[in-house]
Structure 1
């Protein structure tokens, strides 16, 4: 059910511009399409000020100052898809954290299907919109200019990603994101402040703890991961799951390590190690062997490389928890200078 959108690369043809969409008793006008993926489409929408006659006063925790939101439309054509979107709504609604994208409004409606007399469903999810783009967008733009984030900027961004993930992992019901990557982290630029990093897209999120006690359960998890977890950021135990193992949030910590590497160098570690020669991402990930690209001048400190290596332990039992990672990133932030020169690199258009 994953779907990403890009503020920097929103070049999709506007098919439904000007169309009104009701989500419960709130009316939104589609401005343009921002992205699509699978059975989902994301639109930039503006809420209309005219009130629905039965509408109660607003009680939502987030209200857009300019009326702009992101509307995710999901085409639901099976019971399995319906359960997935219901779970995404339930999980997204359970978070209240500055580094997790909140769900503002949602509804699931029945629509007439293509076949005579058949009915399908459509889900509408409304989120705050941030048009500065994702971390991936920013990294791609910087790569084309041969630029790198300074160490302190890398740490500020990563510290916030860790904070959002820790909130997911330590709630009353701990959840794993399962598809953490630069394309699922929004960056919001702020003058003379570090950018705000916001994790989005909880379509692959599940309760963190899973007990695998048979080969059939292991194969089922691998099959699920092949669909829901992006290969360059997928933990080894999701590639080749043991038949007797307890899975927990440390699968996300592997993705954290890959995301930190990508924030530094613009590409995931195992995509980089394979290079143009191709090869198996699974074998590369399970080996845990990391190659370090030529970086900025001056280069990133060894402490950052060691931090990445610590998270990319192929053996689940040796990998740190997200709480451990949060503690360590705080120590690194305190260790390096906190001047604004690095932060201003994100203020450039």
Structure 2
């Protein structure tokens, strides 16, 4: 699960804790062969922040993610996140990897390893914010284009060898670029791991796996096989298909199919799909195909895309047409920290992510 929360409240309140106090804002950072000035916070969490950073030579703005690694497991998780993003980068519906740097905990003042990850900046906010700002469901043609692009990002992940599962697909993790494209972000939960519980597993093994999975997923989007391993169903990248079912349901009906994250409702695939709905009836088969309890019977990402193409053709919709969203302007105040040089405390170290 993402460690970040939306920064919309941050800007309206003047800061996460009621102030704009962040010692990183206004500093200069050297990463790769670029020198950037950190301008403002756009998301934050317990051990991570995302900033807008501007290249001092070109004026181009980027998203700069600063991550702290409190222990070796956190180190491994961050390295995996960056490595996966670097592997996936280049697809039009996935945020672009620019550079990454690392400093060992022995050279920091806070005693934790520190990573910087530089990506392109999507200034349009998230799909969740776009939906909230609109206040009502998107028209059919917009949902088609939005969901097509989200599925294209997932298809790219699932086409890797071995397939990569994102495990934290949700509206907040799909961003809107300046060009009106949807881009998937936050690969902190992504993995190639596959779990195959079987009757020989002990209760302790199952509890440990369920607890581990809970750390990397958002409750409302969690697939049934992740919640209860006693059915001995394989846990792999098909968990993303379940999450996609939650996403398209929310896009259509302005509410989540499992709003209260009720375990029994998820385990039984118990959600409300109005048979009299005519406006989005063309999506019903996709929703039910994604929200199928048995992962072996769930749609594949290619099957979802095939169905979307058929719906688009019958409705004369160009899936590749750029998206346009109306959104409220948010006043984003910039902290007035004194500028200084932050070059990993004078010890620049570049970590090579293979």
Under TM normalisation by the shorter chain, which class is it? Answer: 0.7 to 0.9
| CA distance in 1: counterparts of 2:63 and 2:206, whole angstroms | 37
| Equivalent residue, structure 2, for 1:232 | 220
| CA distance in 2: counterparts of 1:8 and 1:202, whole angstroms | 21
SS of 1:175's equivalent in the other structure is coil
In structure 2, relative to structure 1, the CA distance for the partners of 1:211 and 1:159 (3 Å cut) is same
Is there any run of 5+ residues in structure 2 with no aligned partner, and where? Answer: 329-354
Is there any run of 5+ residues in structure 1 with no aligned partner, and where? Answer: 50-64, 275-279
In the TM superposition, 1:1-349 aligns within 5 A as: 2-4=2-4, 11=11, 13=15, 14=20, 15=22, 16-49=24-57, 66-95=59-88, 96-111=90-105, 119-143=111-135, 147-188=136-177, 190=179, 195-207=180-192, 209-213=194-198, 214-215=201-202, 216-242=204-230, 244-271=232-259, 274=260, 281-292=262-273, 300-338=279-317, 346-347=325-326
RMSD of aligned residue pairs (Cα, Å): 2.8
Q: Tell me by how many angstroms 1:82 deviates.
A: 0.4
SS of 1:29's equivalent in the other structure is strand
In structure 2, relative to structure 1, the CA distance for the partners of 1:9 and 1:102 (3 Å cut) is farther
Asked if the contact 1:3/1:201 (under 8 Å) is kept, the reply is no
How many residue pairs were aligned? 315
Q: Tell me by how many angstroms 1:128 deviates.
A: 0.5
| CA distance in 2: counterparts of 1:222 and 1:156, whole angstroms | 35
Runs (4+) of structure 1 exceeding 6 A deviation are: 342-345
Please give the TM-score of this superposition, normalised by the length of structure 1: 0.82
Asked if the contact 1:6/1:133 (under 8 Å) is kept, the reply is no
Q: Tell me by how many angstroms 1:308 deviates.
A: 0.7
Tell me the alpha carbon deviations over residues 29-83 of structure 1, each in whole angstroms, 9 at most, x when there is no partner: 111011112311010000122xxxxxxxxxxxxxxx7510011001111011001
Asked if the contact 2:246/2:257 (under 8 Å) is kept, the reply is yes
The worse-fitting range, judged by mean Cα deviation, of 283-292 and 197-206 is 283-292
| CA distance in 2: counterparts of 1:262 and 1:246, whole angstroms | 26
Considering Cα pairs closer than 8 Å and 6+ residues apart, tell me whether 1 or 2 has the greater RCO.
2
In structure 2, relative to structure 1, the CA distance for the partners of 1:140 and 1:68 (3 Å cut) is same
